Amino acid sequence: MRRASAWKPMDVLLRAALALALLSAASVRAADIKIATVAPDGSHWMEQMRGGADEIKMRTGSRVTLKFYPGGVMGNDAQVLRKIRVGQLQGGAFTAGGLAERYNALNLYGIPLLFRSLDEVDAVRAKLDPKLIAGLEQAGFVSFGFTEGGFANLLSNEPIRSIDQMKRKKVWVPEGDQISFLAMEAMGLSPVVLPVTDVLTGLQTGLIEMTFASPVAALVLQWQTRVKFRTDLPVSYSYGIFAIEKGAFNTLTPDDQKVVREVMTRVMGGLDHTARDDNKRAAEVLASSGVQTVSVNAADVEGWRRTVEGLYPQIRERPDVDKPMFDELSAVLADYRKSHP
Amino acid sequence: MRDLRVRLALRFAAFVVCAVWLAGCANLIGSRASATLSAAILDQDDPLLVESGLPAYLLLIDGLIKRHPDNAPLLSAGAQMFALYGSRFADKQHAIALTTKARRYGERAICAEYEPACHWPGIGYDDLVAQLAKVDSKKLDSLFSYGVSWLANLNATSEDWAAVGDLPWVEAVLERGLALDEDYQNGAIHGYLGILNSLRPPALGGKPEVARAHFERAIELSQGRDLSIKVEYARRYARLMFDQELHDRLLNEVLAAPAEAPGYTLFNVLAKQEAETLLATSKEYF
């Protein structure tokens, strides 16, 4: 009896300890990773992401659940980053510019007139994407690959075929995009900073006369109702990043991390590849909606490039530019151009 | 596919079919036949029966349009019936074919009544808006059929970027319809504009508050009898804005309401089925 009564409290303690251990193990393992995105529910992007999430849930025995907040309900990139900081969210689908606040090398691909073709993009991305992903991870975000948004083209109400036709035109520049602002100014344009959602009204009221976007983005934003011409020149390259905050990712077991990496890398790779066909089709739709495609004469394109390239030393010195990565990118591009004259 | 509400003026469609079909024997059957038939479809509480019965009417209306190729009411009826069947009862591939036919009938209907509309396919946005301003209320039936059949076709082909590109044009058509008669079909146009305005999140230029106002007005004008409006309000707006309270409240109201309502029973039965599905996934979504 004495023994029994002596053991009883121990028994209770042990059980309690065991229960607590199980509880904490369960709370670590059953990770609910909350992810924000502006992609609307039902879009191709969301369908692919949900497909990936289902596979992860199944393969991790429901220990890892990705929960999505689509349609921009969690706000813009900056707001999502704030919510990640306070632990309300664990990840998000960002624009490169949006996440550059945490790792500024992500801005580099978007330098105006940097790339001349998608072949150049492929050559650079094959070499630099892994480095950018590694750099981003050091900066606190685990990413599984980038998804192409494509080249933005100039969209305007007057045809733009030469540098003269652009002089002093009021052009939209996204909030916070200092590099584009500089480049537009250097090309003789008058940049006007607006939130993307005000561009349509800006075009309507004459606050801006020109804007730029990929064909897909132009259609989604319904800019085809307010512009008449699309200048078929790759102005700047855009891409998106799906990333999970490293601290949250590290709470997963190594095996679960492996599953998440494998599945999401595959999903992002698939989305990356669909963008080109999407933009091609969207460009056709823009044309059939009455937006005429115009080309710039080759001499003017060269002139623009020289103007913007003349800014590179200034861009390189900016505090928001990653100098070593900028130099590496320049070297990769130069190599590519040498072997593909 | 089935999630875009294409609630159609079957009463009108059935009336036209009957009126033309029965023209030769009107004395025998009388004008009450059309009302009886339309009521039989709209007040039907068995969607399966309608699904299996409607194709006969599609064949019939096809034949009638062949005989009367410029008859606007007949073309309107064709547009709406094909859009209904294509959007509610057909599989994905068949839906594209059926709603494409619906859209062509819709184009021909408005063209038969308003010559400039014959040149609308491929028209620029500003030109369309300018010409729409000249469409009067006498042509509203055709304009509505044109807009709704186009919308049904865009929904069936939503994987193509052309569908995204066309949305502002369809919205302009429906906006004109609304300006001509807000109360048309007990607020149906408000319902469609609610859907259109909740397709895009605010970050991509969407106007959910405009959508909300349209849905609220559609409920008011239909006196709450059209349950499919509440289902779309929940599915589109409440999910877009992550408003679970509104979502669940609307759907529970749909489940608690009687399906039987003259002119709405068929769609209300379908709405209740959808409400159950949406409620079942509410916890997972929010």
Cβ–Cβ under 8 Å, residues B39 and B265: no
User: How many CA atoms lie within 13 Å of A140's alpha carbon, on the beta-carbon side?
Assistant: 13
* ipTM for the whole predicted complex goes beyond 0.90: no
- pLDDT digit string, tens, across residues A123-147: 999 999 999 999 999 999 999 999 9
Which residues in chain B touch residue A216, judged by CB atoms under 8 angstroms apart? 161
Among B171, B157, B150, B60, CA closest to B104: B150
CB contact under 8 A, B201 and A73: yes
> What are the tokens at B274?
């959808």
CB contact under 8 A, B199 and A76: no
Which residues in chain B touch residue A288, judged by CB atoms under 8 angstroms apart? 122, 162, 165
Which residue of chain B has the CA closest to A50?
Answer: B285
Tokens 């808006």 found at: B129
Which residue of chain B has the CA closest to A34?
Answer: B286
- pLDDT digit string, tens, across residues B77-114: 999 989 989 998 999 899 999 999 999 999 999 999 99
pLDDT, position B4: 44
Q: How far apart are CA B88 and CA B91, in angstroms?
A: 9
Among B50, B53, B54, B40, CA closest to B11: B40
The answer, yes or no, to whether residue B263 has pLDDT greater than 90, is no
Mean pLDDT, rounded, for A195-216: 93
Cβ–Cβ under 8 Å, residues B246 and B240: no
Among B122, B101, B120, CA closest to B112: B120
Q: Could you tell me where the DSSP H helices lie in B32-91?
A: 32-42, 47-67, 72-88
Q: Smallest Cβ distance to A289: which of B165, B202, B241?
A: B165
Which residue of chain B has the CA closest to A47?
Answer: B159
CB contact under 8 A, A72 and B202: yes
Which residues in chain A touch residue B159, judged by CB atoms under 8 angstroms apart? 44
pLDDT, position B229: 96
Mean pLDDT over the full length of chain A: 87
pLDDT, position B3: 39
Q: How far apart are CA A280 and CA A271, in angstroms?
A: 15
Which residue of chain A has the CA closest to B201?
Answer: A71
Residue B164 C-alpha, separation from nearest chain A C-alpha, in angstroms? 7
A113: CB partners within 8 A, 6+ apart: A183, A234, A235, A236, A304, A305, A308, A309
Q: How far apart are CA B79 and CA B76, in angstroms?
A: 5
Mean pLDDT, rounded, for A192-201: 91
Compare B1 and B246 and report the one with higher pLDDT: B246
Tokens 């009367």 found at: B68
Of the given ranges (A141-150, A241-250, A271-280, B2-11), which has the lowest mean pLDDT?
B2-11
pLDDT, position B17: 44
Which residue of chain A has the CA closest to B203?
Answer: A72
Band (pLDDT 50/70/90 cuts) for residue A340 is confident
Q: List residues in chain A touching B: CB distance below 8 A.
A: 38, 40-41, 44, 69-73, 76, 196-197, 200, 216, 219-222, 224-225, 278, 281-282, 284-286, 288-290
Q: How far apart are CA B277 and CA B15, in angstroms?
A: 34
CA dihedral B68, B59, B188, B158 (to 10 degrees): -110
- pLDDT digit string, tens, across residues A285-333: 999 999 999 998 888 888 888 888 888 898 898 888 899 999 999 999 9
Band (pLDDT 50/70/90 cuts) for residue B11 is very low
Residue B236 C-alpha, separation from nearest chain A C-alpha, in angstroms? 10
> What are the tokens at A154?
């100039």
Query: Distance between alpha carbon B197 and the CA centroid of its chain, in Å?
Result: 15
Q: How much of chain A exceeds pLDDT 70, in percent?
A: 91
Residue A60 C-alpha, separation from nearest chain B C-alpha, in angstroms? 18
The answer, yes or no, to whether residue B6 has pLDDT greater than 50, is no
Q: How far apart are CA B142 and CA A83, in angstroms?
A: 50
